[in-house]
Structure 1
Amino acid sequence: MIDSKNFHKGIRAVITPYNGHEIITTNNNIYIIRKKLNLDVKDFAKLCNLSEGAITKAEIKRSPRIDTIKKVAYATNETISFVGGFDGLPENTFAEKLYKAIKYHGHSYEECAKELRVGRDSIARYLNGGFPRTKRIQESVEKYISIIM
């Protein structure tokens, strides 16, 4: 499914499988972590080095940005995959596996492209059903995806 609303740093179109599920899970996990620590929004925001508004939006209104997820994960000693609610993402296709690995690594699409030493357009192509064209890139992508195995 192409989600044209979720552009990210130059990526024109990307697959966002089960995006609605991800949003609910992410919000719920951040709320659960905050309640487990018995903190109000103000203190939790301070702990995570975020604004109160960012925490409120993350819990109530929308899926947080990956940098918000990273800050919460690092501040609370939780995994990025748990905070982001990425464990439940499907991994049936190459594109789904890559998408899930990007989330597990806590990368933006641009950071993924840099890690794999490919262009941002290549990441968009892979997420839309394309495959790496060279053996070097195939091996790099397989290693990158191994985080979800």
Structure 2
Amino acid sequence: MNRYKGFTILEVCIGLAIVGILATLSINGYEGIRERNNFKAMQELASKLALEQQHYRQKFKRYATQISSSGTSNSSYLVIPNAQQYQIALSSSNTRDFTATIRPTDQALQTPNNCRSLLLFSNRGYLRYETRSASGQNTTSECL
């Protein structure tokens, strides 16, 4: 009969290996959840941008062509808080429609590989979203 109480070295090593495997799996799962949440935040910013563009159009009779992250809106630009975390490019802004491309610039805001940029198209108030991968391929069906 064994008089010693405790675990053998082999039992401790197996326990540590199991804990290491579980930690690796949970960290990978956490990274995926974090990337999807960052993409959802980018979608929320796009929705806010669309709403602010509609307010801007009501006030100035056209869509804004520039974005700022601070100050007050005027006839030169539209103010979107937290815009410094994203690269927002407005193109073809006029009195009837606008197109915006949104990409995160902050390294902490990683998005899934297939959802690197979000495109927002507005034509007479009707909104349409598309996503692009890092290589520029249309990945809307995978991301939205």
The alignment's TM-score, normalised by the length of structure 1, stands at 0.25
Q: Greater CA radius of gyration, 1 or 2? A: 2
Q: Which structure has more RCO (C-alpha within 8 Å, separation ≥ 6)?
A: 1
